Structure 1
């Protein structure tokens, strides 16, 4: 919200010498966030000039420039006309225009621009004739500002527009504007009235509510007012869509009459573009008071006006020339034929738009339900200035005052006449009283607030306070719909008393607390992978059907066990991910596209894994704790979200350098990482061959616990997946269920006594069919090796003529050890033979000669 200081001074006693910095600091003290300061960016000689002559000169590049002689009075020190080249064509000889002379400085997004005399198009251009954008007054850059037209009807300002006069003051470029960020709970600050009230709270300056005098002048509703009907057969959460509707009629309005210069200047300073008198008046009232208005062409209305919900299949062409299909939750304004003419509180329709032939205007000032307007604005993607205010809560008592101000301005500047009839339907519910213990703010904030200070602050912000012993009954003002609980009142006491008065005290952590087992496991996993050269990343958890198809997954099956997002950030990614690899591949692709050749990434994150149909959670109002059964239903509707671990490696695992050539990452590297994780967590992991997408069928392994519980898969990405996603060839990786791994990790430290007797090793080379996994042979050796077998390590694989086609030799080193004695050669041989026999029985392994 941009607030011009001269406008702010009309509502609150801002000291004459206060700058934008001073005002912004005061507003920050009561919790508003400063976004920026505007104005004062033009320095140096910016003067009024009169165009004496204008010669059009076509150029070789197809453009036509104007070589102008401009009278700038004595501002150039000579009194002679100033020669200026200008490319705009919206002015003629005799027009008054703003001219910045050499030595002046213009604000630009890139920084200050110093203006100097320079040769261009065969002339020396000694200055510039300025547009709105060049002066920071708006976005219009199609033509320069013609002061004669800009201030038409403003005789006082036009009298000041003489050649050589200071245009900075005339155009208001010396005025400052403070921009603040309005949080969702402070909707009343979406107006100069609301910000002025906050400035008064911060500084103690006298605040004059402009709505009070307007409300006193506004007539009450009459029986002969414009006919209006209110109905709502589908209220959202039991709240009617419109609980107050005020209309006023102004006849004989000259819509072509220019808006007064002071009004358009304030709109521009507040960040809005002047359009026409009727539109400018409604925008001015909205910015000043915070009440959105709408102006209808009365003669294009068919009879009465009604408020109702949309019917399925209805459409409306809105002011942005878009035909919109309406939803049964949309609140509509309809005419006497029951035809939609507006999406209430969001945007008007074309059929009743104010046009060049309009003479009679119907002013609408209504109060619409915040939830209804917010849903319609998001549903139709129409975040208008009106909807921003309605969805944050508009003062329920403001409509008559806002309508009165609009009528006054249309009558004064448009020459209209106001009808005596006034419509004022509906009775908004009064704010619910809040009960709060007098000492509650002190207990919550942690500092002592005197009783009179608490009641004084609550009355200062507009509440009505009744005390009954140590209990306060507080009725919030109509402009503060955000005050619904005692905690909200505590926040008001704290911010008005001063956040800076709350001491910073370092809390003392309770004894005995620490990381949970799951947190410790995640830290061990992260530290180990980082130490192995992998970088941890976060990828957004959204995927689309195209990504699932590119990974070779069953799209229907994957989307059936996940959640479709109702309002996705991207329509191309509407689903929650079912695996980390589905999103981690994008991180690899992006790094490679930026020139990284060797990439090793990992991520610990949540995935969605529905076991059945998705349950629908009930919708409840914010600010109040739902009942226990409602909470239970909401929790039951939350889909399971196990935590997974994913890794992807592309390019070289061992970098090349003076020490030798590099080595590309392969499946063995990922298996090694998984084995290291198992050792770090003291979990026995079993790796066996498998074939699932998105992994290469010949280079894929299943990872499981010793009891067979599946953890996930590792391997090399399928060549089709690599090609579809644009990844480096032979990218490898894996994904494990980190929750299962965490549960398997023992909470206790397992220590073993060091063996004091020597180990005995024996190597065996076993020939098996090529299809037999090495892990299966190892498992058979372990089963037959007995209790004294300490370890089995595969150290060589051979395929060739010596073992025959379709066969391979697997060489294992068996280590035996007794903790009670030294093993003899005969014992070791017997144990080795038992292990070999078990491998032979299980897989037909024969010992290689």
Structure 2
């Protein structure tokens, strides 16, 4: 809502020190979101005055009609002599009052005015149009002022409202009253503690009958319906400049006087209006819900199929309006309309909201209806509109009117005295609570420790005690609530799982990975890109009832699609060497789950059966850690060649992450989508029952690379962190020996199909307690060891806690380790 401050001052006498920015701060303090304060016309400077055209000389010999005018600008030019000005506009004549920018003036956009020779004459200034002054969009010609509005030489700044301040307020759904000058003025009056002049306080006529016939089919869709008419309206009557200027500042385009009046009253009072050409109506009006198969061509020339949930305005010809959203094309006001019927109604907000979204029609009218309008202002709004049509368009207001009032009185909200103070933690006296509630228009009756509060008609959002508490708190000032840090209970902190997850994040970051947070939504195309089989469990995904994106309607069952799309986005921005990781939940439907959670009542807590049904509908949500790598892990430079990221880096990232929890992963070759079948590792955790699969790592399949548009040879890993965490050991301080280490190297020749991990495991078992670490430092294949064979070279570090190992002891340990490796894997010492 754009609020011109000059317009606002008509309803509330702001103090002299109330600058626009100070006013914005006051309104922000009350909870209104004032996003900007726009100083309109601040870039306009210099002399701009009213002038009277004395003579007009038509210049010939040019490609377009040109006039040389002499204009009386009084003493504004410092001489009192007529000003000679060249002008191409044709919509004015001798004797008209116009607006003149004199040399030295600067117009919007930095357009400086000076005396210069053009078309063979010296033009000392410019006769201005509304567009050139930034008043409103109008390219039909220059401004012609009404006779008697000012004298030649008078300053035009105040006359035209060239300078003003506009508050741009983002109105939240619960504050629909702020979508009007009336509502914002009421808030400004409360902020400064001054009087408020209600623009809806107009003399209202008695319902004497004789209005246009109308009926309402159901009070639930329309609780109040008002029709007022005028006759003899002059359709050629222009909208006055002050109205066009205010509409422009408020962000509404001026169309015609009849339409401008309805828009002006809507902005002023917050009540949307609709105007019909009465000659196009056929019989009585009925407000009802749409019937199956009905259609209506709306003002935007679109034929719309109507839904039985849409509220319609109909006559004998059928639908003529989608109530509260948009009018029909056949009954719109045109340049020949002389008899006009004004409609003001209170429609059901939920119906209007659904209709607006269903037809993808968001109008100024629907924005107000769906947030809730004053249910008692309709007659005042229609009366205000017909009086403006009479005053500005020469119309005659009809005595008869239609006023259907089906409203029910609002039930009071019963609240304990002091409730606002208990909510805010501030001791508000009961008198303060009552005063603040009455300030916003509530009727308050006190009965001991109980307050019976009836909210005003313009605040449909006040429905329970906490709403009333908020009104007291915000008017007393949020800034006056003391900041008291909560006291953390002693002995509490991060859980063991939280500490582990943070430690994993730090570890992966130290390895060069960047953490990302992706939306947990995927599409079938993402799963197809992973080359998953039709019966793969990861394709069994939960579908969202209302997805943010139609292409991603599923909850993810793996972290990889989000990571791969983020990787593609980074590579596309020029970052070729990328390592990303994410810690997050995936969602796996439970076997036999109903798939849809029950909708619970809100007036009570759930029963045991309802809680069980909720639990059954919830999916399993294991926590995963995933990572992807592309490009170089170590960049090349003057220090030497770089090192490309490979499948081994993905496996090592998984091992490092598990190592934080004290878990040693067992790595075995595997075939599992979306990894390359020859470069895929299955990751296991050893436990009492054997080994538990916790994830996979390796290089992605080339078809996956192509489907996602990835750079070549991208590596990835994903592990089930819940399973790793369940196997985590309690961290104990290592026993640090002060005795020297003994190193033994051993090269073993095994069949090419034997995993290096199996050889390493055998060496560990054979070496026993004296083994400190074992490291594979070389792999060799070639003619010297035979086809189908490979040589694995390991470095064994041996150390005792109580002595220095002798050479004989180190040799015995090495031989024992080799013996176990030979027994289990068929390894032989390389000669």
Same fold by TM (over 0.5)?
Answer: yes
Contact 1:782–1:835 (CA under 8 A) maintained in structure 2: no
SS at match of 1:683: coil
Matched, 1:283 2:284: no
State the match for 1:143 in structure 2.
139
1:737 maps to which of 720, 737, 743? 720
The CA deviation at 1:188 is: 0.9
Contact 2:5–2:164 (CA under 8 A) maintained in structure 1: yes
State the match for 1:180 in structure 2.
169
State the match for 1:206 in structure 2.
195
Once residues 735 and 25 of structure 1 are traced to their aligned partners in structure 2, the CA distance between those partners, rounded to angstroms, is: 50
SS at match of 1:552: coil
Q: Which runs of 5+ in 1 are unaligned?
A: 233-239
State the match for 2:6 in structure 1.
6
Matched, 1:660 2:640: yes
Matched, 1:43 2:45: yes
Matched, 1:728 2:711: yes
State the match for 2:503 in structure 1.
524
CA deviation map 1:59-109 (0-9, x unaligned) = 9xxxx79686573735445646455687xx77567676544344333444x
1:261 maps to which of 241, 246, 255? 241
Matched, 1:219 2:206: yes
State the match for 2:568 in structure 1.
589
Once residues 474 and 181 of structure 1 are traced to their aligned partners in structure 2, the CA distance between those partners, rounded to angstroms, is: 28
Once residues 123 and 625 of structure 2 are traced to their aligned partners in structure 1, the CA distance between those partners, rounded to angstroms, is: 66
2:215 maps to which of 213, 223, 228? 228
The CA deviation at 1:289 is: 0.9
2:817 maps to which of 804, 807, 832? 832
SS at match of 1:391: helix
Contact 1:548–1:555 (CA under 8 A) maintained in structure 2: no
Structure 1 residues 723, 324: closer, same or farther in 2, change over 3 A? same
Contact 1:90–1:144 (CA under 8 A) maintained in structure 2: no
Moved more, 627-636 or 491-500: 627-636
Contact 1:226–1:421 (CA under 8 A) maintained in structure 2: no
Once residues 761 and 825 of structure 1 are traced to their aligned partners in structure 2, the CA distance between those partners, rounded to angstroms, is: 8
Matched, 1:384 2:366: no
Q: How does 1:354-373 map to 2 (within 5 A)?
A: 354-373=333-352
1:427 maps to which of 401, 406, 411? 406
State the match for 1:703 in structure 2.
683
Q: How does 1:461-476 map to 2 (within 5 A)?
A: 461-476=440-455
State the match for 2:105 in structure 1.
104
CA deviation map 1:780-836 (0-9, x unaligned) = 555666676654432222222234444433333455667688683674255324422
Once residues 499 and 767 of structure 1 are traced to their aligned partners in structure 2, the CA distance between those partners, rounded to angstroms, is: 77
CA deviation map 1:411-441 (0-9, x unaligned) = 3333334444433335234333222221222
Q: How does 1:341-490 map to 2 (within 5 A)?
A: 341-490=320-469
The CA deviation at 1:719 is: 3.0
Contact 1:218–1:401 (CA under 8 A) maintained in structure 2: no
Matched, 1:562 2:562: no
The CA deviation at 1:170 is: 2.5
State the match for 1:235 in structure 2.
none
Once residues 205 and 816 of structure 1 are traced to their aligned partners in structure 2, the CA distance between those partners, rounded to angstroms, is: 87
State the match for 1:237 in structure 2.
none
Matched, 1:169 2:194: no
Structure 1 residues 313, 685: closer, same or farther in 2, change over 3 A? farther
Q: Which runs of 5+ in 2 are unaligned?
A: none
Contact 1:291–1:399 (CA under 8 A) maintained in structure 2: yes
Contact 1:768–1:809 (CA under 8 A) maintained in structure 2: yes
State the match for 1:515 in structure 2.
494
Structure 1 residues 713, 286: closer, same or farther in 2, change over 3 A? same
CA deviation map 1:497-549 (0-9, x unaligned) = 22232223333333222112332122111111222222223334444444444
Moved more, 678-687 or 726-735: 726-735
Contact 1:653–1:665 (CA under 8 A) maintained in structure 2: yes
Once residues 125 and 605 of structure 1 are traced to their aligned partners in structure 2, the CA distance between those partners, rounded to angstroms, is: 71
Structure 1 residues 782, 303: closer, same or farther in 2, change over 3 A? farther
State the match for 1:793 in structure 2.
775
State the match for 1:535 in structure 2.
514
Moved more, 482-491 or 69-78: 69-78
1:326 maps to which of 282, 306, 311? 306
CA deviation map 1:440-463 (0-9, x unaligned) = 222222222122111111122111
Residue correspondences, number: 815
The CA deviation at 1:666 is: 1.5
The CA deviation at 1:322 is: 2.7
Structure 1 residues 168, 212: closer, same or farther in 2, change over 3 A? closer
Once residues 61 and 779 of structure 2 are traced to their aligned partners in structure 1, the CA distance between those partners, rounded to angstroms, is: 85
Structure 1 residues 381, 12: closer, same or farther in 2, change over 3 A? same
Moved more, 422-431 or 270-279: 422-431
State the match for 1:26 in structure 2.
26
1:678 maps to which of 654, 658, 665? 658
SS at match of 2:202: helix
Contact 2:235–2:337 (CA under 8 A) maintained in structure 1: yes
Once residues 344 and 746 of structure 2 are traced to their aligned partners in structure 1, the CA distance between those partners, rounded to angstroms, is: 92
Structure 1 residues 536, 124: closer, same or farther in 2, change over 3 A? farther
Once residues 737 and 432 of structure 2 are traced to their aligned partners in structure 1, the CA distance between those partners, rounded to angstroms, is: 76
The CA deviation at 1:194 is: 0.9
Contact 1:97–1:145 (CA under 8 A) maintained in structure 2: no
Contact 1:565–1:575 (CA under 8 A) maintained in structure 2: no
State the match for 1:316 in structure 2.
296
Structure 1 residues 702, 123: closer, same or farther in 2, change over 3 A? farther
SS at match of 1:749: coil
The CA deviation at 1:191 is: 0.9
Structure 1 residues 826, 749: closer, same or farther in 2, change over 3 A? closer
Contact 1:563–1:608 (CA under 8 A) maintained in structure 2: no
State the match for 2:182 in structure 1.
193
Once residues 250 and 407 of structure 2 are traced to their aligned partners in structure 1, the CA distance between those partners, rounded to angstroms, is: 30
SS at match of 1:176: strand
Once residues 510 and 405 of structure 1 are traced to their aligned partners in structure 2, the CA distance between those partners, rounded to angstroms, is: 61
SS at match of 2:499: helix
Moved more, 188-197 or 813-822: 813-822
Contact 1:459–1:465 (CA under 8 A) maintained in structure 2: yes
Once residues 67 and 694 of structure 2 are traced to their aligned partners in structure 1, the CA distance between those partners, rounded to angstroms, is: 78
Contact 2:670–2:680 (CA under 8 A) maintained in structure 1: yes
Contact 1:458–1:492 (CA under 8 A) maintained in structure 2: yes
Contact 2:29–2:477 (CA under 8 A) maintained in structure 1: yes
Contact 1:130–1:144 (CA under 8 A) maintained in structure 2: no
Once residues 550 and 120 of structure 2 are traced to their aligned partners in structure 1, the CA distance between those partners, rounded to angstroms, is: 53
SS at match of 1:480: coil
CA deviation map 1:244-303 (0-9, x unaligned) = 222233344333322233322221222211111222111111111111112223333332
CA deviation map 1:121-155 (0-9, x unaligned) = 999876566554553334x3x7265212xx5xx54
